[in-house]
Chain A
Amino acid sequence: MYDINKYLNSPKSSTNDPHGHFHDVAPWSPRVALKIAAEESIELENDHWQVVFSLREIFRETGPEWTARAITRRLEKEFADAGGKRRLYELFPRGPLMQGCRIAGLPLPQGTKSLSFGSVH
């Protein structure tokens, strides 16, 4: 089992890319998410967690080949009743993909031109 102290003692470990994104889904726990979210000035509430958990599930299903377009479609569908993209940006003001993936301990998906939703191809 992953030793959380390893991450907490070395937040910029070799599993991170230069932007702070993890390369895989293993070294992560909700406690890590809380810490990263605090660094991003986000207090995680239920909707934040839903995005985080859904991102991790999508990554599990698709692996590192996941694409920004597919993720965007799926998250907007999940949050359609709550306001869709607008709600997602309320939750993650600097971009649902950029902040969401970082907090979820995941690498950024392919096709992410800017580090947020608006300009993926």
Chain B
Amino acid sequence: MAWQRLLVACLCVLATTMAAAETPQAGAPAPDFALRDGTGKLRQLADWRGQWLVLYFYPKDDTPGCTTEAQRFRDSHAEFAALGAQVAGVSLDDASSHQAFAKEQRLNFPLLVDEGGKTARTYGALTNLGIAKFAKRHTFLIDPDGRIAKVYRDVEPSNHATELLADIRVFKRN
């Protein structure tokens, strides 16, 4: 029995290591995606070429943390725009859910539909519980050349927008 436990432990470590290795890191080209927003419009990574892109994954529309996070991005829209940055949210919710959430909160940036979680998985931002899948609260700051400038895997919804604005200013200065 001991060897079985050891085998399982080894497989777990291997799986974790492989997942980490596949996860996009800062400096690497951002994985491409083609996702529809809440209105049905197709959005691709290339659409934001030449601008900074805040690609943020979040677990679920209209839940407290995700609402706070989206509100902060909404309220900071002018500051992001002044820095040449755009924001796009991604979750596994469907288009009607995105549309309702965006309308209720008057969001001024697109929410992208990643219904199967393929893009979240590519970015290492998918939680798969078997019976349920949802995106992790991870953010990728992508530079105007399409490279990942910074990865955020420990996000505090209430001050995340402020953190990103500060980082973009630093990146632009350097």
Size category of the A interface is 10 to 19
The answer to whether A49 touches B104 (Cβ under 8 A) is no
Nearest-Cβ distance from residue B63 to partner chain A, whole angstroms: 9
Task: Encode contact with A along B56-86: 1 for CB under 8 Å, 0 otherwise.
Answer: 0000000010010000101111110010000
A66 to B104, CA, bound (A): 28
A112 to B64, CA, bound (A): 34
**Which residues on A sit within 8 Å (CB–CB) of B72?**
57
The answer to whether B75 touches A30 (Cβ under 8 A) is no
Nearest-Cβ distance from residue B65 to partner chain A, whole angstroms: 11
**Which residues on A sit within 8 Å (CB–CB) of B106?**
30, 33, 49, 53
Q: Which residue of the partner chain A has the closest CB to B63?
A: A1
**Which residues on B sit within 8 Å (CB–CB) of A40?**
none
Task: Encode contact with A along B92-115: 1 for CB under 8 Å, 0 otherwise.
Answer: 000000000000111010000000
**Which residues on A sit within 8 Å (CB–CB) of B75?**
53-54, 56-57, 60
The answer to whether A50 touches B77 (Cβ under 8 A) is yes
Cβ contact of A53, chosen from B64, B82, B108, B162, cutoff 8 A: B108
A31 to B105, CA, bound (A): 8
A49 to B75, CA, bound (A): 9
Interface members, chain A 45-64 (any B CB < 8 Å):
46, 49-50, 53-54, 56-57, 60-61
A78 to B82, CA, bound (A): 8
